[in-house]
Amino acid sequence: MGHKWGMVVDLDRCTGCEACVVACRAENNIPTVGEAQAATGRAIHWIRVERYWEGEFPDVRVKFRPVLCQQCDAAPCEAVCPTYASYHNPEGLNAQVYNRCIGTRYCGNACPYTVRFFNWFNPAWDTPLQLQLNPDVSIREVGVMEKCTFCVQRIKAAEIRVEAEKRELKDGEFNPACVQSCAPKALVFGDLNDPASEVSRLARSNRGTKLLGELGTQPKVTYLLRETWQGEKV
């Protein structure tokens, strides 16, 4: 059986440090758009940490929730793309093919999680930041949609390596950049088709919920939380 990549986000462990956000930018050549553009809502964060405040001072509680592409099995963004730039690959990933994208931005509207980002201008890096670019990841030009890929370049690199070494992939052998950089180990990544992998085990936890699961998107990211967002204990 092939792989089916999934992720678990443990909200009881997340501290909101946003190391995952920074690591993702570095790994995937995500451009900065400048202060003016960011003010109009055009900043690109393939993974973002949402913060919500509850209550009045001094009884304020902060909740963090990292949101990234949920790699939905019934992704609304896939059906609406006219050029198959967004489609479901055999390993369960929602693949974004930059070359096919003509920029209708329909997928961005259809995604209920708003995890899709658009290149409004050609990206630019001030010197010497271009030296830090990752050669494994292509740069996206103006007019192309992009989003979290579960670091597909790392997935492919690992698969090529184990095939050359004629062995099976071990659980935890590689991780996307966000998972790798998470200090409290709130993010876990792995193969959902392997029942013994840590991600499969955690996904079966009774603390697990799916974000906007009622919409029928069948996301492959499971969120763990001891209590529900309304404060009920699980």
Please state, as a whole number, how many other Cβ atoms lie within 10 Å of the Cβ of residue 180. 16
Question: Smallest distance from the beta carbon of 60 to other proteins, in angstroms?
Answer: 17
Instruction: State yes or no: residue 16 binds other proteins (CB under 8 A).
Output: no
Q: Among residues 8, 144, 155, 182, which is the contact residue for other proteins, using CB under 8 A?
A: 144
List CB contacts of 88: < 8 A, sequence separation 6 or more: 73, 75, 78, 94, 95
Query: Which residue stretch of 10-18, 22-30, 41-49, 223-231 sits at the interface with other proteins (rule: CB under 8 A)?
Result: 41-49
Nearer to other proteins, 123 or 180 (CB): 123
Query: Which residue stretch of 8-16, 68-76, 159-167, 169-177 sits at the interface with other proteins (rule: CB under 8 A)?
Result: 68-76
List CB contacts of 114: < 8 A, sequence separation 6 or more: 108
Q: Among residues 8, 24, 68, 101, which is the contact residue for other proteins, using CB under 8 A?
A: 101
Report d(CA 113, CA 88) in Å as an integer.
17
- Does residue 207 sit in helix, strand or coil? coil
DSSP letter at 227 equals B
Report d(CA 207, CA 210) in Å as an integer.
10
Run of H or E including 191: strand 187-191
Nearer to other proteins, 128 or 231 (CB): 231
Report the relative pairing of strands 94-96 and 86-88 from DSSP bridges. Answer: antiparallel
- Does residue 95 sit in helix, strand or coil? strand
Instruction: State yes or no: residue 187 binds other proteins (CB under 8 A).
Output: no
Instruction: State yes or no: residue 87 binds other proteins (CB under 8 A).
Output: yes
Q: Among residues 13, 120, 171, 210, which is the contact residue for other proteins, using CB under 8 A?
A: 120
Q: Among residues 218, 226, 229, 234, which is the contact residue for other proteins, using CB under 8 A?
A: 218
Instruction: State yes or no: residue 118 binds other proteins (CB under 8 A).
Output: yes
Query: Which residue stretch of 2-10, 11-19, 165-173, 214-222 sits at the interface with other proteins (rule: CB under 8 A)?
Result: 214-222
Report d(CA 203, CA 195) in Å as an integer.
10
Which residues contact other proteins by CB under 8 A? 37, 40-42, 48, 50-52, 67, 73-84, 86-88, 100-106, 108-110, 112-114, 116-122, 141-145, 212, 215, 217-218
